[in-house]
């Protein structure tokens, strides 16, 4: 934490604290619900043909997990996006964008001001989210 600025008004000292909170979504790529993903794609205006193509890629997806050197029968993949697939990063970003939009639209989050640029509230990269809080602390004395 760093103190960004301080000012004295009458008998009140106001101090602006710049705080960064780091959020790491554990196994984030594995937790994307497919129905939610289809809804998000439609909400963002992707053509239904594209949505159906993505659905087709995931509708019959199966995986096997080797246990003690034995590969059992495949199991159906019911959620998540495939790690290592170049499209997965983009699909994950689309799925997480409503969170980013909610953070940016929040009236309660003040963010931090970086020089002459607009306020910075959140940065999202893959499954890591940084939320910047600008908190004004007022201290009175007599």
**How many separate helices (H) and strands (E) can be counted in the chain?**
3, 8
- The Cα–Cα gap between 37 and 109 comes to 27
Burial 89-106 (b: 16+ CB within 10 A, else e): eebbebbbeeeeeebeee
Closest by alpha carbon to 137, among 14, 5, 7, 45?
A: 14
> Tell me: the pLDDT tens digits for 34-53?
999 999 999 999 999 999 99
Cβ atoms of 31 and 80 closer than 8 Å: yes
> Tell me: the pLDDT tens digits for 55-75?
998 888 888 888 999 998 988
What are the backbone dihedrals phi and psi of residue 125, each rounded to the nearest 5 degrees, phi first?
A: -140, 115
Other CB atoms within a 10 A radius of the CB of residue 42 amount to 13
Task: Give residue 141's pLDDT.
Answer: 60
Looking only at the bridges linking them, the beta strands covering 75-76 and 2-9 are: unpaired
Cβ atoms of 64 and 111 closer than 8 Å: no
Cβ atoms of 92 and 29 closer than 8 Å: yes
> Tell me: the pLDDT tens digits for 17-37?
777 888 887 787 888 899 999
Least confident range of 39-43, 50-54, 94-98, 105-109: 105-109
Q: Please give the share of the chain, as a percent, with pLDDT higher than 90.
A: 21
């Amino acid at each position: 934490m760093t103190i960004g600025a301080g000012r004295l008004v009458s008998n009140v000292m106001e101090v602006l604290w710049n705080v960064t909170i780091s959020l790491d979504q554990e196994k984030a790529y594995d937790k994307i619900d497919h129905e939610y993903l289809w809804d998000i794609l439609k909400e963002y205006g992707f053509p239904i043909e594209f949505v159906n193509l993505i659905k087709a890629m995931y509708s019959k997806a199966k995986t096997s997990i080797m246990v003690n050197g034995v590969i059992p029968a495949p199991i159906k993949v019911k959620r998540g996006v495939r790690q290592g697939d170049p499209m997965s990063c983009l699909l994950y970003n689309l799925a997480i964008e409503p969170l980013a939009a909610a953070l940016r639209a929040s009236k309660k989050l003040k963010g931090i001001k970086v020089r002459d640029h607009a306020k910075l509230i959140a940065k999202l990269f893959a499954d890591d989210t940084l939320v910047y809080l600008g908190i004004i602390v007022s201290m009175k004395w007599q």
